[in-house]
Structure 1
């Protein structure tokens, strides 16, 4: 994808996409804390000032990457639950897809929840986050806006999937090689 200088090929007219791709490559290689706007511009083959035209600053560019990440997570979890009618199996499918996404897209996952690096008022970020949350709501069923018990179950479901993902990413979850461990934990949400 990159040339011998480490730059992503840039085609005029698609600077926004080139900068997002460069940012994703940087955070995949170096982690979120290794990101710099200057490096993203260099990899996209543009001047250090060029990103400001589309994103304003580093926060704007990282927010755009987080929007892509949240939308991808929503797509993955929605696809995993499509056609699953059993409520327990639906929550299990959603949780497993959530964890797989976190493990396969670690840099994106880390960025998505680093709220200090993101523009939390960005409408696209809010919409993408709501898309993800909607999948959890659908997996639980009910209306969290009118039923406090449903709201609590939705939060519990999300917290369990997110917590298991975070524990696995941090190397703190010891499963002793049992492939049924995570599904067994996720099935505790059947109450």
Structure 2
């Protein structure tokens, strides 16, 4: 049997990225640390220096993607808090992030087990959605929208942004236009 090479660099992140690729291509049911190790061309024991089991790796994968996603969203709205422009920028950043990393969209929304609670605002929900909701509600409030309209408007905004993202990250959907032209958030108010 061929000896696996010594691995230099950031093996933890390489295991995470390989795990995302594998789950997206093969599904969670056949996912294993051995397969991730093989994908990274390291010994089958190498992942155990970073993750004690597959659940810990999947959790780290979710944290890895969520951290990058949150950074992108936060940067997009800096200095725009409470302004309509914040919602527009947030929507654009949401789409841009996943267009740049389509594998993350598939992983997060189909394999990671995240929870987005659209009904209960007092519970812990997925942090990027909480940021989206909080930002939108600030804009609704500053524009004098009645509170009874907050949730329906939020769902309309998020559905549009998430839907455009789902379309653009799907290899089977082709669009020659500019997606930004579709993102006319101002028409909702």
| TM-score normalised by L of structure 1 | 0.67
**Quick one: distance in 2 between partners of 1:181 and 1:160?**
12
Secondary structure of 2:36's aligned partner: helix
Q: Which residue does 2:8 correspond to in 1?
A: 9
1:172 Cα offset (Å): 6.5
Does residue 126 of structure 2 align to residue 129 of structure 1?
A: yes
Of the three residues 44, 49, 70, the one matched with 1:47 is: 44
What are the Cα deviations for residues 30-59 of structure 1, in whole angstroms up to 9, with x where unaligned?
6613464213224273434x5457544334
**Quick one: distance in 1 between partners of 2:7 and 2:35?**
11
1:65 Cα offset (Å): 0.8
Question: Unaligned regions of 5+ residues in structure 1, if any?
Answer: 11-16, 121-125
Q: Which residue does 1:123 correspond to in 2?
A: none
1:61 Cα offset (Å): 1.1
Q: Residue 93 and residue 172 in structure 1: after superposition, are their counterparts in 2 closer, same or farther (change >3 A)?
A: farther
RMSD of aligned C-alpha atoms? 3.6
Q: Which residue does 1:69 correspond to in 2?
A: 65
What are the Cα deviations for residues 149-190 of structure 1, in whole angstroms up to 9, with x where unaligned?
323333332222111100111256665424652333x433x4
Q: Which residue does 1:32 correspond to in 2?
A: 24
Look at both structures and tell me which one has the larger radius of gyration over its CA atoms: 2
| TM-score normalised by L of structure 2 | 0.68
Matches within 5 A, 1:148-159: 149-159=149-159
Q: Which has the higher helix share?
A: 1
Of the three residues 85, 88, 96, the one matched with 1:89 is: 85
